[in-house]
Structure 1
């Protein structure tokens, strides 16, 4: 399972006959780009660019297309991870993807970051699991799932750490799994015997997961919008 760096395969057969999707994720510090068919990842790259993704997105996309000797018009679909997460990173990948999709008439879809993160560990574990993604100081984006059914526990939300503590206290009589950048940044909340903190490797979705969810997503020529779950700091300042 490829979880970082870059990877590619040119044993493609007749690539012209394969529906190929491009998937982009920049919800947090890693910029991920994946190209592949339903059957396999054909090329992928992940680079750590916290707060610096904008100047790398176009070169990374071009690198993958060049490796596979493809033009954007040969893509069957483009998907973006919709968030929640970094406002700038998410906006930038959506802008690049929509530019490509509109100019080449490529259908576009989007993927929930929560769904991408829970996709693999959620099938290996039992008991409830919660994902907490760093939002800003004192806040996280949270989403819970029943495992292994992957049924959601309520709706995703931006929440204060006091709410996170309340959620963790509600599970004192049963085991609970947690993962995500919000867990790493606030470890004191999850220091309890009934809480299983999953390894950090699960905090970034693998290329195969992103590709699978892209082909599963609803692709259309309509404008796609990110999922922010809260106003940006700039938007909140304008309201004051």
Structure 2
């Protein structure tokens, strides 16, 4: 038995799942803004209890490698690393965008088509990646400010261009006028329940992350605006 706990916190959804050799045993998704820090550990404990498992039964932990929310990814990774250290088990990273593509391929695996998951990066910017029906990378993960010509290079070469994720939903009105080959699939979010097959493949090949040095790919440099309040030292000037 190879029980893998998966943690997905790249968006506002706090998502956990347990798989046995790639097969889903149970999952829980909590749709609550800014809840990760308070909800993640209780969700994990409840899921283990539901599956009649203990922490010591876990073989590995899979966690989102990004892109997505800086705070969400940090909370997920710190929890995963802490458990891996305590249990002496390996850490596996999974792309949030790949977890979205896997969902779509369960229902829309079509020849001569490509799949573009998009996560909202504020305003008209998105994080995205392009893959084919076999999950082969066509264009690596990047960020892009959407306009009416975005992804136009794929129209002539493919029968269908599937767009999904909250980034696709906000930008579809810009893109749909290019071609009817663009197909929007709504309500697709990163979820730990779709980590199973990818995580188990990495587990068997021992594609593990370094617990000391692994960091998520946030998609772009984290920006923290400076406070307009003066510091304590400034007040004495």
**What's the TM-score bracket when you normalise by the shorter of the two chains?**
0.7 to 0.9
Q: Is the contact between residue 8 and residue 192 of structure 2 (CA under 8 Å) also seen in structure 1?
A: no
Question: Which residue does the alignment assign to 2:201?
Answer: 216
Alignment match of 2:121 (pick from 135, 139, 143): 135
Question: Which residue does the alignment assign to 1:144?
Answer: 130
Moved more, 58-67 or 187-196: 187-196
Alignment match of 1:44 (pick from 9, 12, 27): 27
Instruction: For residues 26-81 of structure 1, give each alpha carbon's deviation from its aligned partner in whole angstroms, at most 9, with x where no partner exists.
Output: 11121111112015322211110223221101110111122234332221000101
Question: Counting helix residues as a fraction of each chain, which structure ranks higher?
Answer: 1
Question: Which residue does the alignment assign to 1:110?
Answer: 93
SS at match of 2:73: helix
Alignment match of 1:54 (pick from 18, 37, 50): 37
Counterpart Cα distance in 1 of 2:3 and 2:32: 26
SS at match of 1:101: helix
RMSD over aligned CA atoms reads 2.3
Alignment match of 2:73 (pick from 55, 66, 90): 90
Question: Which residue does the alignment assign to 1:228?
Answer: 218
Counterpart Cα distance in 2 of 1:108 and 1:181: 28
Question: Which residue does the alignment assign to 1:4?
Answer: none
Measured after TM superposition, the shift of residue 202 of structure 1 is: 3.5
Q: Is the contact between residue 7 and residue 192 of structure 2 (CA under 8 Å) also seen in structure 1?
A: no
State how many pairs are aligned: 216
Counterpart Cα distance in 2 of 1:87 and 1:39: 28
- The 3 A distance-change label for structure 1 pair 41 and 228 is same
TM-score, with length taken from structure 1:
0.80
Q: Is the contact between residue 183 and residue 190 of structure 1 (CA under 8 Å) also seen in structure 2?
A: no
TM-score, with length taken from structure 2:
0.81
Q: Which runs of 5+ in 1 are unaligned?
A: 1-17
Q: Which runs of 5+ in 2 are unaligned?
A: 228-237
Alignment match of 1:161 (pick from 146, 161, 165): 146
Question: Which residue does the alignment assign to 1:194?
Answer: 180
Counterpart Cα distance in 2 of 1:220 and 1:169: 36
Instruction: For residues 120-171 of structure 1, give each alpha carbon's deviation from its aligned partner in whole angstroms, at most 9, with x where no partner exists.
Output: 434612322222211122211121123x233222321112124xx4333334
